[in-house]
Structure 1
Amino acid sequence: EDQWPTAQALLREIGGEYGFTKVSLDISRGGVRTFELADETGAKLTIMVNSYGYTVLGVSTGCHLRAEAKERGRPITDADKKVIRSSRSAEPS
């Protein structure tokens, strides 16, 4: 427990170098602690300690859409998939 502030500071320092700057979760309850940082894409860097002293460090990726997906502004449909497949099969190999 006495090392938790150090763990949080290290996560902020190291994670900050990779864009994890926003605190998205900070819980300390009954021996269970969770501290989470997020980046601008929604990726998360999390450290958790349970009441038994086990520590988990987790990373989840954010959303990294291709330019055409951002232009489309919606999820791809089955019709879109067919158009993409047909255009790829028409390309010379």
Structure 2
Amino acid sequence: MGPIDIPEHRPKGGERRSSFITVSGREIAALYGPEDIAGLDYDRDLGRPGEFPYTRGIHRTMYRGRLWTMRQFSGFGTAEQSNERYKYLLRHG
């Protein structure tokens, strides 16, 4: 899907940057619509909370029965590069 320009949804000062990309290298569109999920299979692609592929959380009851926790993100590059870096840091104290 290409960029969608809806004047009433434009930020007053303009976008902070021209594109937004996740740490996984995926570009995030400014707006998603029904055509973006036309081929979505609910069970395969979204699933239920606590079930694979865990897009709705790892707990079946989400955080109604278990408190939310904050986890730190670490690493850079590929998993192999991160692993190599951790081993290097361990070797060098």
TM-score clears 0.5? no
Return the structure number with greater helix share: 1
TM-score, structure 2 normalization: 0.25
Greater relative contact order (CA < 8 Å, ≥ 6 in sequence): 1
Indicate the structure with greater strand content. 1
TM-score w.r.t. the length of structure 1 is 0.25
